[in-house]
Amino acid sequence: MKAVKLKPRAVAVVVVICIIVGAVVNEMWGGPPRWVGSASAHRGGRITHQVGLGRPELPPPTTPTVRWANSPHPIVVCNTTQGGFAIEVRPDWAPHGAERYLQLVESGFFTQNLFYRVPPRTHPIAQFGLSPNLQLRREFAKIIPDDPPVWERVPILRGMIAFAGSPGPPSRSCHMWFAIQGKSYMGHDSWEPPVGIILDDGAAVLDRIQPVEVNMGQIMADATFVPDFPGRYLKEKPVEWFEQCNIVWDPWKDRKSYVPQPVICPHRRDCEYSSAIPMRFLAGCVDGCVGYTTFAEAKAKCDVHEACGGIIQNGPDHFEIREGPDPLASDGETAFIKRGPLGAPST
């Protein structure tokens, strides 16, 4: 068989093709961890799967993705309606807050999660935490402990992420904010130690989020937030939201992962309720704040309504069904929290 003699230009073309094919194969089946289509995360040498997420379509970061594999801290990648960015999560700044944030990401809590409070740039933050997933909203209403303040050594800078809260006892749950710009007054309160920071130039996405403050009571009262996202009220607002977030790198081996909680009263009949005073556990009207004259009538409505988390009584003959629970809700006379019976976790 006669040997084929290739010209130098042909040899160069073949070499280039081999290099490209090898790089593609390495990207698909080997090499360092990167974001993946199944929304898995590399955690301590093993794969952890997340709930209801897909491949993030993000602009490439300004530095190679490979450096994430060498990060000593977890990395989260998020898509928003204004673009995507990567966040380095810092347990060394706020261990309780960082653990809760990663659990929120694992659960899918940030899918279609609103930036519902973006004040004028005199107070440059973008606040979020209002998920359309009622089951997850109820699960993450549970308060976590405060972390020690770190503002003297870790001042709030542009792109940092922290929890929202209120003075008094610990109040951090699932509401958070980004610093569009760092200010000297930020980070001093007990609930404000940063849990991470946006990497590279990803914070430029925050600049494209227009100032807006929505009436959260209106969102709940017109019953349009769920399931018709974003609903009639929000469609008239310049509101932005997360499309999804994924954990793409997680070397934090001993943290607590997200565990789905049982669904409250999945059969939507004969639900169980427990009373609580004061009514700081329920907020958000489910059916336009209709008043029912008896508890039995309100219970019958709440039993069958997926959005209902309980009933409040504001007078001897006035009962309303509410979304809840929300620890920052206004006071009322008595609350009846929907507790059970419990079913299998929602999927």
Angle (nearest 5°) at CA 124 between 121 and 126: 115
Cis status of the peptide bond prior to 170, with omega within 30 of 0: no
What's residue 87's pLDDT?
Answer: 96
What's residue 224's pLDDT?
Answer: 56
What's residue 81's pLDDT?
Answer: 94
What's residue 11's pLDDT?
Answer: 47
What's residue 40's pLDDT?
Answer: 33
- Gap between the Cα atoms of 204 and 212, Å rounded: 18
Pure H helices in the chain: 8-29, 95-107, 134-139, 204-207, 216-221, 231-235, 295-304
CA torsion 56-62-65-67 (nearest 10°) is -140
- The beta strands (E) that lie in 81-205 are given as 83-89, 113-118, 125-130, 160-163, 176-179, 196-198
What's residue 334's pLDDT?
Answer: 77
What's residue 53's pLDDT?
Answer: 32
In the predicted model, residues of the chain with pLDDT beneath 70 are: 1-67, 217, 219-227, 276-285, 288, 324-333, 346-347
- Residue recorded with tokens 């073949």: 14
What's residue 342's pLDDT?
Answer: 81
What's residue 59's pLDDT?
Answer: 40
- Residue recorded with tokens 């920052």: 328
- Which DSSP category does 184 fall into? T
- Gap between the Cα atoms of 237 and 227, Å rounded: 18
What's residue 18's pLDDT?
Answer: 53
pLDDT tens-digit readout, 166-182: 888 898 999 999 999 99
Q: Are 241 and 51 in contact (CB under 8 A)?
A: no
